[in-house]
């Protein structure tokens, strides 16, 4: 088999549970329960094994007798409040961003994550290729944060944030940092990073001997949070999706 068609064949093969999450129909956990309940058929036969391989080019998959259909691509911008987890379910029962998206009516994956105590712009989509593109550190998609620190930072400390801070997982990339204002004991900064390591802003500020008191993400790539109320979501416009580059098909975005 020539190389190109071999990899195309590989791409169309997925485990049964993945087929549903990839199509934006539900989480893998939900898919497992549908499969276990005998609601899923492959080529007319009930399959109860979630790890069963299917070839989407050849196999006919149904849920409750209805053929699997790829959901149109949807891209949402949520203003995540502080105190919400960027996960689907929390064993401790804390609120998650999905509690705020119940009216979206679709299974969506977050494009990266924000800490429990961070608020601001969070994108969610069922276009997993888009999510992977935006999160890929090689693409250096800028992320902008408003930061309030527990101490007043010196110019030298701010320069260090710009140049790069040594963290346990290596030196941070150069950042764009603007001092917005100071109070007697605090500094308010705008920080733009081109990487998205775990708790990166908090760890950078802690490495300077200070602490983050408030963290809000206000922009991701070309998208700004604007005047969206906290806890609310909106669809990205077709122009916003296109502005990320690549050949997306924003089939259900609002113009």
Residues 9-38 that bind ligand URA (CB under 6 A): none
147 binds ligand URA (CB under 6 A): no
Which residues are registered as beta bridge partners of 119? 216
Residue-by-residue DSSP string for 57-119: TT--EEETTEEP-PPPP-EEEEEEPTT-BSSS--TT---BGGGG-GGG-S--EESS---TT-E
| Cα distances (angstroms) measured from residue 254 to each of 73, 225, 239, 242, 245 | 11, 16, 10, 13, 18
DSSP designation for 254: B
78 binds ligand URA (CB under 6 A): no
Give Cβ neighbours of residue 11 (< 8 Å, ≥ 6 apart).
none
Residues 204-223 that bind ligand URA (CB under 6 A): 215
Residue from 31, 35, 114, 161 touching ligand URA (CB under 6 A): that is 114
Q: Segment contacting ligand URA (CB under 6 A): 39-47, 52-60, 197-205, 239-247?
A: 197-205
DSSP designation for 137: G
- Beta carbon nearer to ligand URA, 114 or 225: 114
Residue from 139, 202, 234, 242 touching ligand URA (CB under 6 A): that is 202
Q: Segment contacting ligand URA (CB under 6 A): 52-60, 90-98, 132-140, 193-201?
A: 193-201
Q: Segment contacting ligand URA (CB under 6 A): 13-21, 47-55, 112-120, 150-158?
A: 112-120
Instruction: Name the minimum Å distance from CB 153 to ligand URA.
Output: 16
71 binds ligand URA (CB under 6 A): no
253, 241 contact by CB (below 8 A): yes
Burial of 226 (0-12, 13-18, 19+ CB in 10 A): exposed
Site of tokens 């700004």: 224
Can 115 be counted among the known catalytic residues?
yes
149 binds ligand URA (CB under 6 A): no
Q: Residue 190 and residue 146: Cα distance in Å, rounded?
A: 5
Q: Segment contacting ligand URA (CB under 6 A): 72-80, 91-99, 113-121, 221-229?
A: 113-121
111, 135 contact by CB (below 8 A): yes
- Beta carbon nearer to ligand URA, 175 or 253: 175
Residue from 79, 98, 110, 118 touching ligand URA (CB under 6 A): that is 118
81, 225 contact by CB (below 8 A): no
Instruction: Name the minimum Å distance from CB 147 to ligand URA.
Output: 9
Q: Which residues are catalytic?
A: 115
Give residues in contact with ligand URA (CB under 6 A): 114-115, 118, 199-202, 215
């Amino acid at each position: 088999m020539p190389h190109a068609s071999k990899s195309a064949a590989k791409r169309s093969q997925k485990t049964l549970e993945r087929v549903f999450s990839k199509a934006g129909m539900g989480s893998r956990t939900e898919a497992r329960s549908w499969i276990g309940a005998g609601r899923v058929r492959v080529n007319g036969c009930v399959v109860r094994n979630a790890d069963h391989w299917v070839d989407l080019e050849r196999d006919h998959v149904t849920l409750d007798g209805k053929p699997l259909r790829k959901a149109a691509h949807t891209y949402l911008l949520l203003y995540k409040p502080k105190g919400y987890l960027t996960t689907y379910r929390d064993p401790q029962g804390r609120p998650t961003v999905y509690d705020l998206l119940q009216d979206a009516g679709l299974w969506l994956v977050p494009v990266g994550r924000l800490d429990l105590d961070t608020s601001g712009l969070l994108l969610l989509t069922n276009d997993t290729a888009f999510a992977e593109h935006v999160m890929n550190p090689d693409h250096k998609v800028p992320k902008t944060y408003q930061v309030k620190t527990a101490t007043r930072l010196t110019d030298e400390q701010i320069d260090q944030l710009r140049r790069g801070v040594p963290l346990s997982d290596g030196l941070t990339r150069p950042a764009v940092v603007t001092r917005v204002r100071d109070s007697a004991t605090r500094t308010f900064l705008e920080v733009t990073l081109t990487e998205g390591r775990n708790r990166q802003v908090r760890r950078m500020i802690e490495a300077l001997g200070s602490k983050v008191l408030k963290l809000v993400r206000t922009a991701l790539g070309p998208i700004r949070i604007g005047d969206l109320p906290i806890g609310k979501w909106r669809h990205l416009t077709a122009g916003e999706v296109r502005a990320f580059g690549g050949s997306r098909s924003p089939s259900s975005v609002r113009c």
